[in-house]
Amino acid sequence: MQASRARLFKEFKEVQRERSADPDIQLVCDDSNIFKWTALIKGPSETPYEGGVFQLAFAVPEQYPLQPPQVRFLTKIFHPNVHFKTGEICLDILKNAWSPAWTLQSVCRAIIALMAHPEPDSPLNCDSGNLLRSGDVRGYQSMARMYTRLAAMPKKG
Amino acid sequence: MVSDSIPTAPIPSAANTKNLGKKKRTNRSAKLKQCKIDARREQWLSQGAVKNKGYKDGGDDNHAPPMHARKDGKRSLEELEMRPTGEENDGSIHQDSDLESPSYSPTSVNSSLLGGNNSGTHFTASSSSSSSAGCCSGNITGLDDWEAVADALAADEKHQNLCSETLPEHKTVVQMVSSCEMEYGSNLGTRESKPESALLISPASGNSRAWRPDDAFRPQSLPNLSKQLSLPNPDRHCGGGITWARTAPPYSCPICCEDLDLTDSSFIPCPCGFRLCLFCHKRIIEDDGRCPGCRKPYKCESIETEARMLGGSLTLRLARCCSMIERS
């Protein structure tokens, strides 16, 4: 557990330094608990999530980095691989394909990539997955855009 | 005299920088306290977010002092370029007196007061700060590329202009500086190899306060840093030389972030070349046994023990061959 702490501390310092390096990701560590992190990611451009800012919650296990962090969306998102209610993310690198060489920052990047490239064949959100699988890209996109507007953009007025 | 007119120019700006730096730091703590995620998010979403972000960038980082030093250096570099280069050598002797004090401004004010009697003193002081500042960034990344000197100077000049223009709005400056520092480090690194004066400086400026964060490491870190530039090291960063220096010589284990010792650094457990320390390797073997670099299972227990026993590079090379054969 000492190793995970050291590693997280280093990641923390790295995040502090490179905050300007990746403008799409803001990674913030909890004030009192280094095992709790929050990330804000920008929806990738040319996707229905463009213009939205999505909040992610990281729960880092004691065995980190041997075990992957648990990540979920706190912001509602309409995406085949994200559970609509819980925000759970179906992403291989957060499950069996995890590697200790990944960092929280790179997980954020992977999630942004997942947002741009949904995998409708292993859906957590069946509605979204079915839209894509049936070829209704437009339907998926308009739904996703609607929820981005509703949940991930500032309220107007 | 010429020197009378020139020194007066940088002093107020240096004092400005100092004050702004203080303001920044106090603001930073206040900012951190109220950093509710939602607030941040709103900030980020609104257009003004860009400024705020840069503001925070500067404030949060712990390398504020070197940034000031560099900024000062850049400013005075401007002067330097207007002067004959011979003066740089004179300055190198006096450079400590200038940078040693954490508060750059009082010293220069003093020397400007003295300037009436002894204008030469201040003259050298201001030029020296520039030469040592060049050295500063030089030590952050040691590139021995002569061609880059020209680029560095050009970039520097451009940057100075930007800096001096935007100095009143320190937010923008800070953002710019922090984002460009990486580039600066590598570019300015070349300057360190240029004049003899810079070489003379480097041991002396180890004492100067402007170097405080990394001074102890500077001599050793020099050769390693260029190496590290070529590595896909997550440590690569755009701030001051603090962490560079700390992780530079051993190249720490990417898993646990402990420094690699000699055995560790000659230990290549996987044909993909991903290195880690023996401790982490053991933990991974006990856990799921896959290489973090390529996610292929570590196959060969025998090789690993062999490597552990002998540890030499020859054995390791053999081990690598073995593993290749085994895999194919």
| Domains, chain B, ordered by start | 250-301 (3.30.40.10)
pLDDT of amino acid B9: 43
Which residues, in sequence order, are bridge partners of residue A37? Answer: A29, A58
Kindly report the nearest CA distance between residue B294 and chain A, in angstroms: 8
Instruction: Tell me whether B274 touches chain A (CB under 8 Å).
Output: yes
The rounded distance, in Å, linking the Cα atoms of B142 and B125 is 25
* Nearest CB neighbour to A66, from listed B41, B56, B283: B283
The rounded distance, in Å, linking the Cα atoms of A16 and B64 is 13
The answer to whether A101 contacts B239, with C-beta atoms less than 8 Å apart, is no
Q: Is B75 helix (H, G, I), strand (E, B) or coil?
A: helix
Does residue A89 or residue B45 have the better pLDDT? Answer: A89
Cα dist from B92 to A12, B66, B88, B106, B119, whole Å: 38, 19, 6, 20, 17
Contact criterion met (CB below 8 Å) for B296 and B270: yes
- For CA atoms B242, B244, B249, B251, the dihedral sign is positive
Token code pair at residue A51: 């213009």
* Nearest CB neighbour to A40, from listed B40, B284, B293: B40
Cα dist from B215 to B88, B103, B222, B246, whole Å: 22, 18, 12, 11
Token code pair at residue B321: 């061959």
Ranges of beta strands (E only) in chain B are none
DSSP codes of every residue in A68-135: PPEEEESS----TTB-TTT-BB--GGGTTT--TT--HHHHHHHHHHHHHS--TTS-SSHHHHHHHHTT
Token code pair at residue B270: 């996987």
* Nearest CB neighbour to B256, from listed A6, A16, A38: A6
| Residues of chain B under the 50 pLDDT cut | 1-17, 30, 33-34, 47-143, 163-215, 217-249, 302-328
Residue B290 sits at φ, ψ, to 5 deg, of -115, 145
pLDDT of amino acid B289: 83
Could you give the domains of chain A? 1-152 (3.10.110.10)
Token code pair at residue B118: 């002894």
* Nearest CB neighbour to A14, from listed B46, B57, B234: B234
Does residue A57 surpass a pLDDT of 90? yes
Q: Is A90 annotated in the active site?
A: yes
pLDDT of amino acid B255: 84
Cα dist from A41 to A27, B52, B99, whole Å: 8, 17, 41
pLDDT of amino acid A68: 93
Best probe of the A interface among B33, B244, B255, by most A CBs < 10 A, is B255
Which residues, in sequence order, are bridge partners of residue A28? Answer: A38
pLDDT of amino acid A150: 92
Nearest to A142 by CA among A126, A156, A127, A157: A127
Best probe of the B interface among A11, A14, A17, A156, by most B CBs < 10 A, is A17
Q: Is B128 helix (H, G, I), strand (E, B) or coil?
A: helix
Kindly report the nearest CA distance between residue A122 and chain B, in angstroms: 22
The rounded distance, in Å, linking the Cα atoms of B268 and A106 is 24
Token code pair at residue B55: 């503001």
The answer to whether B284 contacts A19, with C-beta atoms less than 8 Å apart, is no
Kindly report the nearest CA distance between residue B63 and chain A, in angstroms: 10
pLDDT of amino acid A111: 95
For the range B80-87, what are the long-range contacts, defined as Cβ-Cβ under 8 Å and sequence gap of 24 or more?
A: B80/B127, B80/B130, B80/B131, B81/B153, B81/B157, B83/B127, B85/B195, B87/B123, B87/B124, B87/B127
Token code pair at residue A115: 């947002």
Kindly state the helix (H) or strand (E) to which residue A53 belongs, with its residue range. Answer: strand A53-59
For a pLDDT cut of 70, what percent of chain A falls above it?
98
Neighbours of B143 (CB within 10 A): 21
pLDDT of amino acid B38: 74
pLDDT of amino acid B116: 41
Which member of A29, A90, A108, A126 is catalytic? A90
Which residues does chain B have within 8 Å of residue A55's beta carbon, measured at their own beta carbons?
37, 41
pLDDT of amino acid A96: 86
Contact criterion met (CB below 8 Å) for B167 and B72: no
Best probe of the A interface among B178, B238, B257, by most A CBs < 10 A, is B257
The rounded distance, in Å, linking the Cα atoms of B60 and B65 is 12
pLDDT in tens, B19-54: 555 555 555 554 554 456 777 777 777 744 444 444
Which chain A residue has the Cα nearest residue B234? A14
Does residue B222 or residue A113 have the better pLDDT? Answer: A113
Cα dist from A34 to A23, A38, A106, B5, B22, whole Å: 22, 11, 17, 53, 28
Residues 6 or more apart whose CB falls under 8 angstroms from that of A12 comprise A29, A34
The rounded distance, in Å, linking the Cα atoms of A57 and A152 is 15
pTM score: 0.48
pLDDT of amino acid B313: 47
pLDDT band at A59 (very low <50, low <70, confident <90, very high): very high
Kindly report the nearest CA distance between residue A81 and chain B, in angstroms: 23
Instruction: Tell me whether B35 touches chain A (CB under 8 Å).
Output: yes
Does residue A129 surpass a pLDDT of 80? yes
Q: What one-character DSSP code corresponds to residue B295? A: -
Contact criterion met (CB below 8 Å) for A81 and A99: no
Residue A73 sits at φ, ψ, to 5 deg, of -80, 130
Cα dist from B275 to A93, B155, B278, B308, whole Å: 20, 36, 9, 14
Instruction: Tell me whether B221 touches chain A (CB under 8 Å).
Output: no
Instruction: Tell me whether B259 touches chain A (CB under 8 Å).
Output: no
